[in-house]
Structure 1
Amino acid sequence: MSKVYKFLGSYLVIYICALMCFAQDVGHKIIPVPVSYKLLKHSFILDNKTAVYFNSEEDKELIRSFLGRINDATGYDLKLLKTNRNVIFFEKLNQYREDLGEEGYELEVSNKKIRISANNSRGWFYGLETLTQLIPVHTSKIKSFTINGVLITDYPRFKYRGLMLDVSRHFFSIEVLKSYINQMAKYKFNVLHLHLTDNQGWRIAVDGLPKLTEVGAWRVSRTGYWKGFLPPQPDETADYGGFYSKEQIRDLIIYSSKKFVEIIPEIDVPGHSLAFIASYPLLSCTQTPQKVLAGDPWNSSRTNVLCVGNDSVYVYLDKIFSEIATLFPSQYIHMGGDEVTRGYWEKCDKCKLLIQKEGLEGVEDLQNYFIKRVTKIVEAKGKKVIGWNENLKGGLPDNMTVMSWKSYEAGIKASNNKQFAIMTPAAFTYLDFYQGDPFLENGPFTVARLNTMYKFEPSPEDANEAFILGGQGSLWTEQVPNERKLQYMTWPRALALSERLWSSKNASGWDFFIKRVEKHLLLLDSSNVKYSTQFYEPIIFSVIEDGVQKIKITSEIEGLEIYYSFDDTSPDKFYPIYSQPLTVPKGAHHIRAISYKDGKPIGREINLPLEIVMKRR
């Protein structure tokens, strides 16, 4: 009898371990991690006989799109059929489920069917995106495959889950934007914030103001590091750039709406306006001709700030925002409003007169005056206003949504004042920051690694979460000249942001996240999306031990073997493996290091001058 019990006990242990492995396998595939998921006994066999059925005729186009994706991935020819067996069933709930809300879904995988239930088609969409992640990559030669039985209940933590793309510093075509939106939607981002205007380019056509695109959309061509660009030379033609026509924007909006991505336009004023002023110089305080620049505009001879005291400015802005409001269905328009060089206003007679007329204390009050006046213009078009946070006396208008970028502080303060805020603190969300060793990168400013972005908390402890709409990753494109670099800077760091914005606050941890990221690199490969593997690479700096300066090597993730050399040869797994801080050999001038995972090299070899390393702490 004891042998029977031992057998049953051993069988039970094996069975439980198998169940845990199946559940873990399902969990390890999904980004962002769902609110809850549990293993079911049976599995679903997906093959060429699987049917697709739905109970809402109005969403047929969405289901057909999904059908096409599955057929493309598998080589199958699945059909829309009403059946009870071997079917993927999209169920629109008759009774509204409060827990699922407007974007949530329930996904059940059993032996007879896969069922996606939701209150509306938006929930269906996110449910099928999760289902798509459960389908193996490169399945076109497989006759059938198994999807483990699971019950997933899922809904987002925040309703604003965005990425911002700067199309002013470098112009990106509508086709590139569509590709970007497509990839965003796979990870449940629902907002694309387009930074349409800045010092380096005006990117949208406005009827009655032709010079915005005839002049403002073009600059001289430059290649290289942003801060080293020469200004336009007298004999150069401004032929680099581009703009979007109204027809193109309408087409993009239709495309994005099918992916449930809202496009929020930004017209950045009163600063960051050199392209605007180059088009219409009379709108600046100096009223002198300007040229759209390729690089950094911070020069006293370059007027990039609108004249607050010139009434014509508001006439132009009223026209611009009228067209923007008509063209974009989003409830929001972003008006920028940050980083204003007020020195122009101090010397301007019109601005001085406005200060006197309105009883203002000085030029800082002029910025408040401008923001409030433009906010009223935008609201008159039936839109809500978003602005970058600025340290202004009295803060931003109460009816403006604050986009907190310098840190968390402005968003926390706004939320506690019952003012809506969107979090994009630069240190945790700026995708233009370099993501690997700074010596090897040309990214501006500082570093924001993958593990840093995973620490992003959209609603910090001191904030009033009821007024935190969500957050976004922001990609400024000074050093992003083409689509491949655009992808490289976004992925996989945007995976971290998607999880922080969708999933429950404590739903996962870094180790669990990185295991799923590694699986999703295959999905990115299958979509021909370029991504960074710098999270694998050695991080090299110096430490002081017992009064001696030594070299320490770490990495973002655990479980890597790191091999190194000081003799200017490329290390591999036959070289010394790093285990403790290193003493620098006499005569050495470089250190090289490379990471290995499962016996194979991964990421780049890092080759650094020791004089650089010794300055790091």
Structure 2
Amino acid sequence: MRKQSKCGGFVLASWLMVAMAGGSLVQVAYAAPEVKAPAARGVLERYASGAQLRLRWELVRNVFTPESPGGGTQARFILSNVGQQPLPARGWSLYFNVMDGVSTGPLEGKLVLEQVAGNLFRIRPAPGFAGVPAGQTLNIAYNHPDLVIKLAKAPAGPYLVYDDAPDVGQAIADYQLLPVTRPEQLDKGSSGAKPVVIVQDIYRRNANADWLPAAALPPVFPTPQHLETGGGKLKLAALPSISAPAALKTEAAFARSLFAAGLPASSAGAAALRLSVGTVPGSTSPEAYTLTIKAGSGIDIVGNSAAGVAYGLQSLRDLLPLPGSDAAGIELPELTITDAPRFEYRGFQLDVGRNFHTKQTVFKLLDLMARYKLNKFHFHLTEDEGWRLEIAGLPELTTIGAVRGHSAEPGVRLQPAYGSGPNPADASGTGYYTRAEYIEILRYAAARHIEVIPEIEMPGHARAAVKAMESRYHRMKAAGKSDAAKYLLNDFADKSVYKSPQLYNDHVINPGLESSFTFIDHVIAQVVAMHKEAGAPLHTIHVGGDELPSGAWEQSPASRAVMQKKKLESTAELWDYFYDRVDAILRKHGLYASGWEEMAARATKVRGEHKLIPNPRFTQRGFSAYVWNNTEGAEDFAYRLANAGYDIVLAPVTKMYMDMAYNANPEEPGVNWGDYVELDTVYDFIPLDYLKNANLPLVGKDALTDYGKRRIRGLEATLFTETVRTTERMDYLVMPRLLAMAERSWAPDPAWATETDAAKAAALHRTAWSGFVNTLSQRVLPRLDLERTGVDYRIAPPGLVVDNGKVLVNHVLPGIAMRYTSDGSEPNTTSKPVDGPISDKGQIKVAAFGRNGRPGVVSRIDNP
């Protein structure tokens, strides 16, 4: 889509290039800036513009040396001047973002590669560079210090800037990533990195499930605690007569919407649908409900609270025929469901700092959460790359901290990140929620019984706030304001040397400044006020705590002064001081502290080896720690924290991070720093005993104590958005994996998870997994399609093998419609259906299709 805005004296038009699920590229034309300064305009008339350059990126080969056994990657840009003007010998820079960084320094051909800041880099000519005449091509070879396994780690958002027009960033619209298919490109050496997944691998993995008839599937998702069926049917020829107290008016309106499309208005003698808050036998959970359907008396839903009633209605929705069914009226089976969630915390985290997502997208996610009985929306509102919430009294947080784009001068806006490019009107680089919009989101969530938990990142991951408050300081100081430093977050005399995983060295809130705590108090007070105005609950604010880089604060005079005054021996104790202060601020506002696991951890050494231990300073404070790190060496850390007394939300990166790619194939969207997460990876998670099936030696690993089990609050699926610039990409990464998380957080452990006999556990697992994927393919996902929810969930590639001259086909979702071609064309809704082994010869291409005809990822295999 194309958007224009006036900015800095010239017109900027956004260029968006989105790598789609199948590896194709969607491109939208970029309008060159209208430059009003005569000198700058002359530069653009004499020399090639961004619109006259064609850029390709190629992974040349992976390289392994004794000094770097983990490997690195040789890559190159292929820059073609397709215009009529030259790219000159000097006076220009080619900017781009790279998530994991590149090797900087001189390049062949008299070029220099430099880091600007964070993940923003540039290439510029050195003395002796010859320029690129019209019609010529330049190869720019450079190196990545680590293996580039995913195309998501390739350079993104390239743009051109001339020295004589330093404020004009010209997006290079014609930019593509070349395929990664050659052996030297896919070589993993002895790095231990996982190989690519081929269609035969997919076939073998899919073979772990069986097709089941619809009658064998549970009728409600997630799986309820107790379900008893009767022998009769309740027949509905008209909209039921709905009765509910005033306190359930929202639920009554939702009930009417469930039937409105398929039935005429209520008439005399219509079946009754009664909603009430009462007592659910055997359950103290406020979210428990009973759903009773009887042929003679209608439908009754009783909840321990309004939330329970709402979940009962979601279960009732599952029992309705799929939209488009031919039968006149509706028949519902007689049954009784008594249900309650396993965990009180069933969450989803959305990061809108790295890439912004609109209020409408948030509404769509909240609807999806409500549908599958999730109840906590962890709203990751601030990051190094963006502050996304309007805060009264601090306009720079959004006028600067919410805006990304090119600028020659510091303090104007944040730099481009994650491919957002030079244009400050870019829809994912720039954006924030106004106070009114945030309140609207809170009310929308509350109506769906979802608690919004805002996250304000600190002390790291705070570059947007740091730079915004630095700009405020300079503005107010220039105006002669005496309180210019009131909200300043960084010590200008700080000489500390550090680098974050995102390559920043200027992004940390300084605990030595009293102004840092004045800022935090002001922000928290404003957030509390917005929740109060919305009438939405606020019990905690997530205050970050992750990935503070080693070396931060060490050479800050302000921090050193506080350490001396408070008799603190190390920056680890300064960390405790910081969160002591933050905790006091939260308590003043009636809140408790939530944060990432590092907030509850203390780094130490055992026999010379680095080890994280529970921080004894905060075990009795009521902190809620969200534990993401279950990687090598920390697999049991969540359990150790729970055993020590911390309340724990399980959000393990190898199981619950929705931004992780499904597999190791370069073109498969997502990142891979933690692991690859397939649908069954999420499904196989055993929350209270996840070491059982982790294929790990358990010596030295802690299991949960009975006390520790009581500290596990629940689960959270997490989406960080480095690679997520569109709602389509969000849907692809989140769904259907979120469904497996919903099952794990709501339903009790399945029998296979507690069975001690390995053979019996395997048989039980196959039965349960088959039930789960068939429920998705025959009930859950078709309903999303047919109800026109706009959820473009990932339709996985089919598995293929050649056997005795025929192609055998299967899918992770048994029974999903699949079609194929053998003439070189891509499968579509008119292609031949897969109804058994394929005898055609040649290259066989197969795709699965949703109920609305949307195709999934294509698989191909040669059948000679």
TM-score interval for Structure 1 and Structure 2 normalised by the shorter chain: 0.7 to 0.9
Residue 602 of structure 2 aligns to a residue whose secondary structure is: coil
Question: Aligned match of 1:66 in 234, 255, 276?
Answer: 255
Task: Return the offset for 1:576.
Answer: 12
Would you say the 8 A contact 1:205–1:245 is kept in 2?
Answer: yes
1:520 corresponds to 2:708 = no
Task: Return the offset for 1:351.
Answer: 1.9
Partner of 1:412: 639
Distance 1:238 1:562 in 2: 38
Root mean square deviation, CA, Å: 3.9
Structure 1 residues 181 and 577: CA distance shift in structure 2, 3 A: same
Would you say the 8 A contact 2:345–2:376 is kept in 1?
Answer: yes
1:131 corresponds to 2:392 = no
1:228-285 per-residue CA deviation (whole Å, 9 max, x = no partner) reads: 749869xx78884222222222222111111100000000000001100110124223
Partner of 1:392: 602
* Aligned pairs for 1:564-579 within 5 A: none
Question: Aligned match of 1:457 in 665, 683, 686?
Answer: 686
Output the amino acid matched with 1:43. K
Partner of 2:731: 487
Question: Aligned match of 1:299 in 503, 506, 510?
Answer: 503
Partner of 1:245: 434
Structure 1 residues 118 and 601: CA distance shift in structure 2, 3 A: closer
Output the amino acid matched with 1:341. P
Structure 1 residues 49 and 479: CA distance shift in structure 2, 3 A: closer
Structure 1 residues 436 and 109: CA distance shift in structure 2, 3 A: farther
Distance 2:431 2:548 in 1: 25
Would you say the 8 A contact 1:564–1:575 is kept in 2?
Answer: no
Partner of 1:353: 561
1:431 corresponds to 2:675 = no
1:144 corresponds to 2:329 = yes
1:43 corresponds to 2:233 = yes
1:106 corresponds to 2:274 = no
Task: Return the offset for 1:61.
Answer: 3.3
Task: Return the offset for 1:183.
Answer: 1.4
Task: Return the offset for 1:474.
Answer: 0.4
Residue 421 of structure 1 aligns to a residue whose secondary structure is: strand
Would you say the 8 A contact 1:32–1:499 is kept in 2?
Answer: yes
Distance 1:554 1:232 in 2: 45
Task: Return the offset for 1:404.
Answer: 0.5
Q: TM-score, normalised by structure 2?
A: 0.57
Partner of 2:200: none
1:424-480 per-residue CA deviation (whole Å, 9 max, x = no partner) reads: 001100011112552222311242111111122332262222111101100111111
Report the more deviating stretch, 467-476 or 394-403: 394-403
1:604 corresponds to 2:808 = no
Distance 2:375 2:399 in 1: 32
Report the more deviating stretch, 530-539 or 205-214: 530-539
Task: Return the offset for 1:364.
Answer: 2.9
Structure 1 residues 493 and 529: CA distance shift in structure 2, 3 A: farther
Output the amino acid matched with 1:433. M
Output the amino acid matched with 2:401. G
Would you say the 8 A contact 1:36–1:153 is kept in 2?
Answer: yes
1:44-101 per-residue CA deviation (whole Å, 9 max, x = no partner) reads: 11221532223x3321332123212321x3153247x9x7x722222433x5634263
1:402 corresponds to 2:625 = yes
Output the amino acid matched with 1:449. E
Residue 232 of structure 2 aligns to a residue whose secondary structure is: coil
1:168-197 per-residue CA deviation (whole Å, 9 max, x = no partner) reads: 112222222112111110100001100000
1:477-507 per-residue CA deviation (whole Å, 9 max, x = no partner) reads: 1111122222222211111111100011117
1:312 corresponds to 2:507 = no
- Could you list the runs of 5+ residues in structure 2 that have no partner in the other structure? 1-211, 408-415, 471-487, 495-499, 532-536, 604-612, 691-702, 752-766, 802-807
Output the amino acid matched with 1:74. G
Structure 1 residues 560 and 203: CA distance shift in structure 2, 3 A: closer
Question: Aligned match of 1:32 in 198, 217, 222?
Answer: 222
Would you say the 8 A contact 2:731–2:794 is kept in 1?
Answer: no
Residue 659 of structure 2 aligns to a residue whose secondary structure is: coil
Structure 1 residues 92 and 442: CA distance shift in structure 2, 3 A: closer
Would you say the 8 A contact 2:295–2:334 is kept in 1?
Answer: yes
Task: Return the offset for 1:409.
Answer: 2.7
Task: Return the offset for 1:337.
Answer: 0.6
Structure 1 residues 573 and 45: CA distance shift in structure 2, 3 A: closer
Distance 1:536 1:238 in 2: 32
Distance 1:139 1:575 in 2: 24
- Could you list the runs of 5+ residues in structure 1 that have no partner in the other structure? 1-21, 289-295, 541-551, 579-589, 610-617
* Aligned pairs for 1:145-544 within 5 A: 145-220=330-405, 229=419, 240-281=429-470, 282-286=488-492, 298-299=502-503, 302-328=505-531, 329-390=537-598, 391-393=601-603, 395-396=614-615, 397-398=618-619, 399=621, 400-407=623-630, 409-436=636-663, 438-445=665-672, 446-460=675-689, 462-463=703-704, 464-506=708-750, 509-518=768-777, 519-525=779-785, 526-538=787-799
1:295-332 per-residue CA deviation (whole Å, 9 max, x = no partner) reads: x98335x4111112111111111111122223233211
Would you say the 8 A contact 1:537–1:602 is kept in 2?
Answer: no
Distance 2:814 2:451 in 1: 38
Output the amino acid matched with 1:32. P
Distance 1:63 1:136 in 2: 20
Would you say the 8 A contact 1:438–1:447 is kept in 2?
Answer: no
Distance 1:539 1:353 in 2: 66
Would you say the 8 A contact 1:75–1:141 is kept in 2?
Answer: no
How many equivalent residue pairs?
Answer: 547
Structure 1 residues 126 and 567: CA distance shift in structure 2, 3 A: closer
1:203-251 per-residue CA deviation (whole Å, 9 max, x = no partner) reads: 11112211111111111289xxx98749869xx7888422222222222
Residue 439 of structure 1 aligns to a residue whose secondary structure is: coil
Q: TM-score, normalised by structure 1?
A: 0.79
Would you say the 8 A contact 1:401–1:421 is kept in 2?
Answer: yes
Residue 107 of structure 1 aligns to a residue whose secondary structure is: strand
Structure 1 residues 601 and 592: CA distance shift in structure 2, 3 A: farther
Distance 2:367 2:553 in 1: 43
Distance 1:89 1:575 in 2: 45
Distance 2:854 2:542 in 1: 45
Distance 2:514 2:357 in 1: 33
